[in-house]
């Protein structure tokens, strides 16, 4: 991953490339659903009277982003009736995912959390996380396949810009709408939030129209052996059975987990630690059950063994063969923790702003709207610097800034309701986050072999969020036990191992990224 000698002028002109511009609209479609699971939903639930700890647990509804590598091969290989033949492999799946996103957002809109329907809201949120993660799989594959490696950093920048605009619409837009329709803290109005979410569902038409207008990327991978309908049906059955087993174990273990959590709290003396142990055990039991079901179905002959090898094992073997065991493990570890500081803090950020005393319009105006422009500026800066000076250098700079800027939230917590201080914190934090994200997406793209685009990138992007989101689900409990100042200090310290990993892995990034395209 060597520093390029491209001029600033050439770098800026590349932003006008049609593929680069396309990523702006696809980024919007990918970014819009995210905050409807995280911050906007958090404020909705809080206004509906849901406890803070329960609110942050809802962030686990987006764990589909962290396990999308499980069904990425289906998206990569499974043809869709009518859609694949008419639109192509990537666009067909993209349109299906966007339709599911619209249905999930509408389902959330017709569910009132204050009416004791938290389970239905959780199911709709999980569907939204699953369908939006599926859309991400397709868009990532489309981006990598549609242009050479020389454009990836700039495409990442416009993708992040579109992503942040989508987050603005579903973040600030949803808050402005809910407030304008009459819902406020202490004066909850379900219909106000219902209309806000229905408008968000309609905004997904941007992604649908883009999918219908763009062209399918040229096939650039090696020909695959032909598979029968039964082969694809077998993998689909395995996936459905494994997911059903995971949900069953995770759901029916709730009662046992509650009792075990109370017992561990008495032993450990810390509710947060006990909750982390118990919920992690539940998650592990669900994953183990899904794995066991998959193994049994493969041994029973329900799934074509050769197809499973080609679909799941071949991409992993290629990655480890290319980098070697030691460097591959270090790279995967870096991928898994790079964004830990931002994600863990981000889960509870909106709740923090509200607890400090900021109103929804203030949060929407400063954090969402003004913060968007700072993030976009950081994304473009990160893309340009990555092209000019190399991805690894900017990756290190982004990680350093992301961890350090979390300390500014301690000052904001001490000052309280101060708009000037909020502007300072959001300016520095979002500029750093945008820079880091652009470099990181380009870094992940460079690790991907074009033969296994969807599967390998899905593994990388799943690892990117898995541990941070699991830990972020406990952010409300940690704040309840330690307070905001200690929590923000903890999130900053979490970034220190990331810097050490970047320094260590820079020596293992040969062969250069261009060789991954073959």
Nearest to 207 by CA among 152, 132, 154, 272: 132
For 8-218+228-517, the fitting CATH number among 2.60.40.1840, 3.40.50.2300, 1.20.1250.20, 1.10.10.10 is 1.20.1250.20
Residues 6+ apart with CB under 8 A from 459: 69, 72, 315, 316
Say yes or no to pLDDT of 36 above 70. yes
- Region of 90 (left: φ > 0; alpha: ψ -120 to 50; beta: rest) is alpha
State residue 184 phi and psi, 5-degree precision: -150, 165
* Residue of 177, 156, 164 whose CA lies nearest to 32: 164
pLDDT band per the 50, 70, 90 thresholds, residue 351? confident
Question: In this predicted structure, what is the pLDDT of residue 75?
Answer: 82
Distance CA 398, CA 389 (A): 13
Q: Look at residues 201, 162, 182 and name the one whose alpha carbon lies nearest to residue 30.
A: 162
3-state secondary structure 370-431: HHHHHHHHHHHHHHHHHHHHCHHHHHHHHHHHHHHHCCHHHHHHHHCCCHHHHHHHHHHHHH
The reported pLDDT for the residue numbered 254 is: 60
Structure tokens at 78: 């499974």
Distance CA 487, CA 258 (A): 25
| 269 has pLDDT over 60 | no
Q: What pLDDT shows up at residue 13?
A: 52
Q: Which residues pair with 187 in a beta bridge?
A: 184
- The dihedral built from the CA positions of residue 454, 455, 460 and 463, taken in this order, carries a sign that is positive
CA 147 to chain centroid, in Å, comes to 23
Q: If you ran DSSP here, which 8-state letter would residue 173 be given? A: I
| For residue 302, pLDDT beyond 50 | yes
Residue 222 confidence (pLDDT) = 44
Better-predicted residue by pLDDT, 48 or 239 = 48
| Per-residue pLDDT at 16 | 59
How does 395-407 read in b/e, with b if 16+ C-beta sit within 10 Å? bbbbbbbbbebbe
DSSP 225: P
3-state SS class at 1: coil
Which pair of tokens denotes residue 99?
A: 């339709």
Q: What is the pLDDT of residues 406-440, one digit of tens each?
A: 899 999 989 889 899 999 999 999 999 889 988 88
Rounded average pLDDT over 294-311:
79
* Across 3-7, 20-24, 293-297, 353-357, least confident range: 3-7
Q: What is the mean pLDDT of residues 499-511?
A: 72
Q: For 301, which DSSP code? A: T
Average pLDDT over residues 162-168: 87
Residue 206 has pLDDT above 90, yes or no: yes
Identify the bridge partners of residue 184 per DSSP, sorted by sequence position: 187
Confidence of residue 514 (pLDDT cuts 50, 70, 90): very low
Average pLDDT rounded to a whole number, residues 385-396: 83
Q: Are 330 and 501 in contact (CB under 8 A)?
A: yes
Mean pLDDT, the chain, rounded, equals 80
Q: Is 53 helix (H, G, I), strand (E, B) or coil?
A: helix
Residues contacting 283, CB < 8 A, separation 6+: 250, 470
**Above pLDDT 90, what percent of the chain?**
18
Predicted local distance difference test score (pLDDT) of residue 213: 92
Q: Which pLDDT score, from 0 to 100, does residue 10 have?
A: 55
Question: For residue 509, is pLDDT > 70?
Answer: no
**Cα 185 from Cα 189, distance rounded (Å):** 10
- Residue 411 CB burial class (10 angstroms; 0-12, 13-18, ≥19): middle
pLDDT at 227 over 70: no
């Amino acid at each position: 991953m060597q520093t390029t000698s491209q001029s600033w002028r050439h770098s800026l002109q590349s932003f006008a490339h049609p593929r680069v511009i396309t990523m702006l609209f696809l980024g919007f479609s990918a970014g819009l659903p995210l905050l409807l699971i995280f911050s906007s939903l958090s404020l909705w639930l809080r206004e509906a009277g849901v406890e803070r700890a329960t609110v942050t647990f809802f962030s686990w509804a987006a764990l589909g982003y962290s396990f999308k590598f499980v069904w990425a091969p289906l998206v990569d290989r499974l043809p869709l009736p009518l859609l694949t033949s008419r639109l192509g492999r990537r666009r067909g799946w993209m349109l299906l995912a966007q339709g599911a996103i619209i249905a999930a957002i509408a389902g959330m809109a017709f569910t009132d959390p204050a009416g004791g329907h938290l389970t239905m809201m959780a199911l709709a949120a999980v569907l939204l996380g699953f369908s939006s993660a599926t859309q991400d799989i397709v868009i990532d594959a489309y981006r990598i396949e549609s242009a050479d490696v020389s454009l990836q950093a700039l495409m990442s920048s416009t993708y992040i810009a579109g992503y942040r605009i989508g987050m603005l619409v579903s973040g600030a837009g949803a808050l402005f709408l809910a407030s304008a329709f009459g819902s406020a803290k202490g004066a909850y109005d379900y219909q106000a939030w219902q209309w806000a979410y229905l408008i968000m569902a309609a905004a997904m038409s941007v992604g649908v129209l883009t999918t219908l207008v763009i062209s399918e990327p040229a096939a650039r991978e090696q020909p695959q052996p032909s598979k029968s309908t039964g082969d694809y049906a077998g993998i689909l059955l395995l996936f459905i059975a494994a997911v059903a087993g995971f949900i069953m174990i995770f759901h029916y273990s709730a009662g046992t987990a509650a009792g075990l959590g109370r017992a561990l709290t008495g032993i450990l003396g810390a509710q947060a630690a006990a909750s982390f142990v118990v919920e992690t055990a539940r998650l592990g039991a669900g994953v183990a059950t899904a794995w066991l079901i998959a193994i049994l179905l493969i041994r029973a002959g329900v799934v074509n063994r050769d197809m499973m090898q080609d679909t799941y094992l071949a991409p992993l073997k290629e990655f480890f063969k290319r980098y070697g065991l030691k460097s591959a493990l270090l790279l995967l570890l870096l991928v898994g923790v790079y964004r830990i500081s931002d994600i863990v803090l981000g889960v509870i950020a909106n709740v923090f702003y509200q607890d400090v005393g900021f109103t929804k319009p203030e949060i929407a105006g400063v954090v969402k709207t003004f913060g968007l422009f700072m993030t976009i500026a950081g994304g473009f800066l990160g893309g340009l610097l990555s092209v000019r000076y190399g991805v690894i250098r900017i990756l290190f700079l982004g990680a350093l800034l992301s961890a350090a800027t979390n300390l500014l939230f301690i000052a904001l917590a001490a000052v309280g309701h101060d708009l000037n201080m909020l502007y300072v914190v959001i300016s520095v934090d979002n500029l750093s986050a945008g820079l880091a994200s652009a470099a990181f997406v380009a870094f992940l793209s460079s690790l991907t072999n074009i033969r296994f685009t969807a599967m390998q990138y899905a593994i990388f992007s799943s690892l990117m969020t898995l541990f941070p989101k699991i830990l972020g689900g406990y952010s409300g409990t940690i704040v309840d036990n330690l307070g905001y100042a200690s929590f923000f200090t903890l999130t900053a310290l979490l970034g220190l191992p990331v810097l050490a990993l970047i320094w260590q892995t820079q020596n293992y990034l040969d062969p250069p990224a261009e060789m991954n395209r073959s």
